[in-house]
Amino acid sequence: MKILNTTKSTVLVLKAEKADTPFSRIRGLLGRASIAQDEGLIITDCRSIHMMFMKFAIDVVFVDRHHTVIGVVKNIRPFRMSPYFLRASYVVEMAPGRITESRTEIGDQLRIEGS
Which domains are seen in the chain, by residue range?
A: 2-113 (2.60.120.1140)
**pLDDT (tens digit, 0 to 9) for every residue of the chain, 115 residues total?**
999 999 999 999 999 999 998 888 878 888 788 999 999 999 999 999 999 999 999 999 999 999 999 999 999 999 999 999 999 999 999 999 999 999 999 999 999 999 6
3-state secondary structure of 22: helix
- pLDDT at res. 12: 96
Q: What is the DSSP string of 43-62?
A: EES-S--B-TT-SS-EEEEE
- pLDDT at res. 27: 84
- pLDDT at res. 22: 85
